[in-house]
Structure formats: C-alpha cells, structure tokens
Amino acid sequence: MGVQLRMVWRLIDLGGVDGFTMTNLYEAVARTVAEHDSPNTLILNYPGEPFVNVGYHQVVEKEVDLEFVHKQNMLIVRRSIGGGTILDGPWEQDYFFIVNKKSEECPADIGEFYRKYLIPVAEALQRLGVPVQYKPINDLVVRDRKISGNGGISIGDAMVLAGDVLLDLPTELMTRVLKVPDEKFRDKLKKSLLEWMTSLKSELGEAPNRDDVKRLLVEEFTRAFGIETEEGELSPAETKYLAELLAERKHREWIFMKDRDHEQLFDAAKSRQVKVKEGVSVCEGVYKAQKLIRITMETANNRINDISISGDFFTDPYIGGIEKLEKLLVGASLDKEELRKRITSSFDTLGLKTMGMTADDLAQAILTTKQAE
C-alpha cells in the first residue's frame, strides 16, 4: 500500500513590515498563485509602525482626521480590499491565506471559504485560553466582542483571506485618527469600541508572546487541513509584482482616488450648495445596510447627474466595479421602481457582486439621501 503524501503549503514569515508592503504583498503573491507559479501560501507579518488603512471603496477625507494623522507622520494607505478605515499597528498579528481556486482547499462559496479558514484561527486562540468563536460571515468574537477582523478578495484564479488577531487594543489612538463630528462623538465612539472589540491582552491580562501566537496559528491550520508548511520566500516574479504595485499605490493618485473621482461634487457638498441652480441640487447621506453606504450625488429633475458611492462594503471584482456602476447610474430616474431596475440591470451588466449591501440596499440608500435633502 502506497504512502499518502500530504499537501505542502509555503509559509512566508516577514515579521514587521510597512503599511504599503502589508496591503499589497498578498496581491503580488496571489497573482503567482493564480498563475500556478507558486504554491498555496500562508503569509505572516505585522505593521512595524502604525498606519491608517483605508478600505478600497472609501473617501479618505470623509473617514480620516487628516490634520491629526499628518501631525503624527502616519502613513495613509488605500488597500484593494473593501471594508472600513482602521488603524493598523504593532499591536496586531496579521495572516494571509492565499489559495488557488482550483485547489481542494478552496470552497466555491464565500461563506464556506471564510468558515474553513477562520475556524482554525479561532481554535489557535482557544489554546491560549480565550473562548473565541467563529461568527459568520467573517468575524471571530469573544462573547460577541470582535477580536479579529477579516476580509476576502478574489484575484484571478486565487482567493485571499486577509485577517488579524488583536494582541492589544489602543482605542485612544484608533478613534483619534477617524473623522468625527465632535469630541463628544469621539468619546462615544471610544466607549463603543470597548463594548464591541477586545484583544488578547484584555482577555488574558497581558498580551501573549507573538511567536507563540504565530506557532499556534500554523499548528491549528496544518492540523485542520491535514497539510504541511514549508518555510519559503518571495519568488522573483512576486518581488517584481510587488514593486509594480508599490510604484502605483504609494502615490496620492491612488490613495485619494475616490476623493478625486468626484472632486467638484464633494466641493459643492462641502460648501453646502444644496441647490446649485434651479432644479439642480447636491445631497449627501449615510445608509446602514449590513455595511455602511455613503452617497453624495447631484440630481436634476429627479434624475442623477453625478454620484459617488462609497462605504465599507466589499465587491467582486475588487477593483473598478463601483466606479463603472457610478457611470451607469448617471441619468437614472429617482422613481423607486425605475431606480431599482436600473441598479439591478447595472449589477448584471457589470457582473458585479457585493457583500455587505445588495442592489436593493443601494437603491434605498440613494432614495433616503434624496428624501433627506
């Protein structure tokens, strides 16, 4: 009887890295995994210095306290994965599972994909004595308090799960980088963070050794999947891809792309030019679906002239889908049924899939924004 060979994953542990590297490395590796030039890979790293990590679909100026961040000399980074603005730093341990879609280790259903990869993470933290549970679709919680944030992205024939474990929770700094209406609201936000987030230090009294956390993550992952890991390094192709991504994404054109896409629209909204001229108006609104949707739009004669759709939702394709959708919605009627049909048709035309909002949610967000004008 033959010996059954165990599948081998590559393990890359880079230690502390800068924010631009952390948010682009997984994409460079995913390209080679998708091309079958690299094996399925687990990357471990953490931010060497704090940086502001903005979700792909977000407008920086509406989410970040730019004055404070610049005074602190913090990097602002726009990642290619959706979700909200967060402050990343040395108080976390990050992991990136990068798997070819045709591999046995890659479920086709996104919910199953999250479950498959997050349960071993939960079990690793349980071994530290923390009662962590997997909460669909992509959270790990301790008594309903989030201890790990996770996001998924499809890159060609590869799937990526990017996540972190909070070793500590610096709520003062985390809330300070966010743009809020006033200090009273910031105090409420800080209190809210403490109510719905936690860390290993909060649960155990002190933060565990980072090496122990990494060891347990790898042990539980290999045990759950029945695989082995082999320490490796970036290939020449991955190094080249990463250099190309960094050359593009370190520039303001990428970081502030959502701000610049509708610069005149935002300027009109900022100056409170609610009625630009007879029959033409600018309005802004925030709508909470499963994720937050932020709408800024110019309307004329009950139709959309210009629109910005931002928020902490996720999309597939991960880049460009919302921008194309915005263009398809120019001229759309604000009649409830016509708008719903236009949005649904546009989703189908683009092959756009979203997590955290539906086509109906988006229609409601637009209509609610118009009604609140």
Domains of the chain: 8-251 (3.30.930.10), 262-371 (3.30.390.50)
Collapse the DSSP code of 174 into the 3-class scheme (helix H, G, I; strand E, B; otherwise coil) and give the result.
helix
Q: Which two tokens stand for residue 228?
A: 């082995």
Task: Give residue 137's pLDDT.
Answer: 83
State the pLDDT confidence band at 3, using cuts at 50, 70 and 90: very low
* pLDDT score of 271 more than 70: no
CB atoms under 10 Å from CB of 187, counted, come to 12
Note if the bond before 153 is cis, omega within 30 degrees: no
Average pLDDT score over residue span 266-271: 78
* pLDDT score of 1 more than 80: no
Q: Considering the chain, what percentage of its residues have pLDDT values greater than 70?
A: 95
Query: In degrees rounded to 5, what are phi and psi of residue 305?
Result: -90, -40
Could you tell me the strand order of the sheet in which 280-288 lies? Answer: 275-277, 280-288, 292-300, 303-311
Q: What is the pLDDT of residues 28-49, one digit of tens each?
A: 999 999 999 999 999 999 999 9
Task: Give residue 7's pLDDT.
Answer: 86
Q: CA-CA distance, 114 to 56, in Å (whole number)?
A: 20
253: left (phi over 0), alpha (psi -120 to 50) or beta: alpha
Collapse the DSSP code of 136 into the 3-class scheme (helix H, G, I; strand E, B; otherwise coil) and give the result.
coil
Q: Which two tokens stand for residue 148?
A: 């790990």
State the pLDDT confidence band at 267, using cuts at 50, 70 and 90: confident
Q: What is the pLDDT of residues 281-303, one digit of tens each?
A: 889 999 999 899 999 999 998 99
* pLDDT score of 5 more than 60: no
* pLDDT score of 234 more than 90: yes
Q: What is the pLDDT of residues 94-153, one digit of tens each?
A: 999 999 999 989 998 888 999 999 999 999 999 999 999 999 888 999 999 999 989 888
Average pLDDT score over residue span 254-269: 89
